[in-house]
Amino acid sequence: MKKRRMIAALLSAALVLGIAPAIPASRASRAFGAEGTGVQGDSGLLWLVNYGHSVSKDYAASDMRTAAGSSVKMRAAAASALESMVKDLKNTGLSIRLNSGYRSYATQTYLFNTRLAARQKTGMSYEAAYAATRKFTAVPGTSEHQLGLAIDLSTDGTLTAAFGNTAQGKWLSANCWRYGFILRYRDEKYSQTQIGEEPWHFRYVGKPHAQIMYEKDWCLEEYIDWLKENGHISLTAGDMVYDVYRTAGDTSGYRDVIDRSSDNSGGVIVTTYHPADPMAYIRGHWSESSFAMLFGEEVPAVFGVIDPDRSITRGEFAALYAQQMENGKLPAAAQSPGSAGFSDVPRTDPYYSGITAAAAAGIMGGNGGRFRPEGFLTREEAAVAAAKCVKDDELQYLDYGDLGSISGWAFQSVQKLALHGIMKGSDGNFRPGAKLTWGEAAALLRSLEEYVGSADGGLQI
Ligand SMILES: [Zn+2]
């Protein structure tokens, strides 16, 4: 009885949605993850659930909420996107009803069994009734509604094929991708989905995936299959670039990740996001003039998009130094050429040649045959590398407040750089253990170049 009442309430809950409050957009910022996807882990937004890939009957997402002006529940990211989509649809003068969002396994079971029984009552055999039911009602455990990522929409509370020919159905079909939704079940994709045409059922996958599937005319199954086979797809949208990777293994090592989502078919889909313009984050930054002196107008492709506030890795710093050496702007070390060849720097490493050159020049070295290219460089480590090309042995008396935390092996290097104004601290401190940022690295190498190039600079290159 209780269950029956709950279902009745759910089915009659097809409220006309009021105007949703405006969702603050953050398109201009780097915080796309907060606006779009950003949900991590096994309950990711690209979770494939269909006849062949089920979800546990105990699964319920932990981040569900009720969509504004309705009683429909969805996961938070999907609910926000739905509210935006409904608001824009209504702004065209059309009305829409939200029929059904999240459904538990128990609800889906009840729904399926009720529809099955109704068909059997008309005299259909169990097999025929089952086949007819599952064409439009997912077998429990294979419904996207259980994920909290699907929404059924209608004009009058009924879910029929006619919805596809209404102005609302057409608008949604043409525009849902802009909000991160896909029209999930279409006749021409039946062989993939095993579900018939459902013009009312929209699945949230997040941008940019919805746009990719829309542009390629792929259903979710085809998208995942394509990624399985090719590993990567890229989408340029406006001045931003999305790179989508599918991996069966380790997902660390990707930069600028906005989303990691299991696909429920043995892989993880990693989505990254960066500006198409590699100078985008540098423009207007305090380090801009240093980068301009190092690179001119063009950032070498090997560095990709540089975020000047991001910590620089040892591999990146070595490559940056080597690149300036190659341009004749920075010298090899004053003493002791180093040895190259590191067990953790394969030839395929994008910074292989830079690391090899910087090591051969005695600027940076390894430890136990390893270079740690992915490791970050502390400010005092950077000071040691930079001081290698200061021939002058004079030292500066230091009065940094955190003087005591400068390591013994770095002390004289810090003194040398201070003497020539090549590397200074800020607010009276040197911050020896802090990670060097890209912006600081650019400023450091620029000062070093000015020192080296000046009349009384120590070295002949
Ligand atoms: Zn549905």
What is d(CA 2, CA 6) in angstroms, rounded to the nearest whole number?
A: 6
- State whether 14 and 163 are in the same domain: yes
Classify residue 321: in a domain, yes or no. Answer: yes
- How far does the centroid of ligand 1 lie from the alpha carbon of residue 66, in Å? 17
- State whether 333 and 435 are in the same domain: yes
Within 136-267, strands assigned E span 150-154, 181-183, 201-204, 232-237, 240-247, 257-262
Neighbours of 225 (CB within 10 A): 15
- How far does the centroid of ligand 1 lie from the alpha carbon of residue 135, in Å? 12
- State whether 265 and 315 are in the same domain: no
- How far does the centroid of ligand 1 lie from the alpha carbon of residue 39, in Å? 22
Q: How many domains does the chain have?
A: 2
pTM to 2 decimal places: 0.68
- How far does the centroid of ligand 1 lie from the alpha carbon of residue 196, in Å? 11
- Check residue 105 and give its pLDDT: 92
- Which of 248, 275, 302 is the last residue in one of the domains? 275
- How far does the centroid of ligand 1 lie from the alpha carbon of residue 160, in Å? 11
- State whether 326 and 227 are in the same domain: no
Could you tell me if residue 186 is left (phi over 0), alpha (psi between -120 and 50 degrees) or otherwise beta? Answer: beta
Q: Output the furthest CA–CA distance in the chain (Å, rounded).
A: 100
- Check residue 27 and give its pLDDT: 24
- State whether 391 and 307 are in the same domain: yes
- Which of 245, 275, 305 is the last residue in one of the domains? 275
- Check residue 392 and give its pLDDT: 78
What is d(CA 168, CA 159) in angstroms, rounded to the nearest whole number?
A: 13
Residue type, 402: D
- Which of 244, 275, 306 is the last residue in one of the domains? 275
- State whether 254 and 326 are in the same domain: no
Long-range contacts of 249-255, Cβ-Cβ distance < 8 Å, separation of 24 or more: 253/374, 255/304
Question: DSSP alpha helices (H): ranges in 18-136?
Answer: 32-35, 76-91, 105-121, 126-136
- State whether 54 and 160 are in the same domain: yes
Classify residue 172: in a domain, yes or no. Answer: yes
Give residue 229's Cα distance to chain centre.
21
Residue type, 252: S
Given a contact cutoff of 8 angstroms between Cβ atoms, the answer to whether 360 and 423 are in contact is: no
Classify residue 174: in a domain, yes or no. Answer: yes
What is d(CA 406, CA 164) in angstroms, rounded to the nearest whole number?
A: 69
Classify residue 261: in a domain, yes or no. Answer: yes
Task: Give exposure, 305-331, as e/b (b: 16+ Cβ within 10 Å).
Answer: bbbbebbbbbbbbbbbbbbbbeeebbb
Q: Which positions are catalytic? A: 198
- State whether 100 and 161 are in the same domain: yes
- How far does the centroid of ligand 1 lie from the alpha carbon of residue 233, in Å? 28
Q: List the pLDDT tens digit at each of the 461 positions of the chain.
A: 344 444 333 333 322 222 222 222 222 222 222 223 333 345 689 999 999 999 988 888 889 999 998 999 999 999 999 999 999 999 999 999 999 999 999 999 999 999 999 999 999 999 999 999 988 888 999 999 999 999 999 999 899 999 999 999 999 999 999 999 999 999 999 999 999 999 999 999 999 999 999 999 999 999 999 999 999 999 999 889 999 999 987 777 787 888 889 899 889 999 998 898 888 899 999 999 999 999 987 889 889 889 999 999 999 999 999 999 998 899 888 766 666 689 999 998 899 999 999 999 999 999 999 999 999 999 999 999 999 988 878 888 899 999 999 999 999 999 999 999 999 999 999 999 999 999 999 999 999 999 988 855 544 44
- How far does the centroid of ligand 1 lie from the alpha carbon of residue 400, in Å? 65
Classify residue 75: in a domain, yes or no. Answer: yes
Classify residue 149: in a domain, yes or no. Answer: yes
What is d(CA 55, CA 150) in angstroms, rounded to the nearest whole number?
A: 14
- How far does the centroid of ligand 1 lie from the alpha carbon of residue 102, in Å? 9
- State whether 81 and 117 are in the same domain: yes
CATH number at residue 76: 3.30.1380.10
- State whether 230 and 262 are in the same domain: yes
- State whether 296 and 444 are in the same domain: yes
- Check residue 6 and give its pLDDT: 40
- How far does the centroid of ligand 1 lie from the alpha carbon of residue 150, in Å? 6
- How far does the centroid of ligand 1 lie from the alpha carbon of residue 182, in Å? 12
- How far does the centroid of ligand 1 lie from the alpha carbon of residue 157, in Å? 13
Classify residue 282: in a domain, yes or no. Answer: no
Classify residue 203: in a domain, yes or no. Answer: yes
- State whether 270 and 369 are in the same domain: no
Backbone phi, psi, residue 447, to 5°: -65, -40
- Check residue 155 and give its pLDDT: 96
- How far does the centroid of ligand 1 lie from the alpha carbon of residue 145, in Å? 6
- Check residue 337 and give its pLDDT: 66
What domain range includes position 94?
2-20+29-275
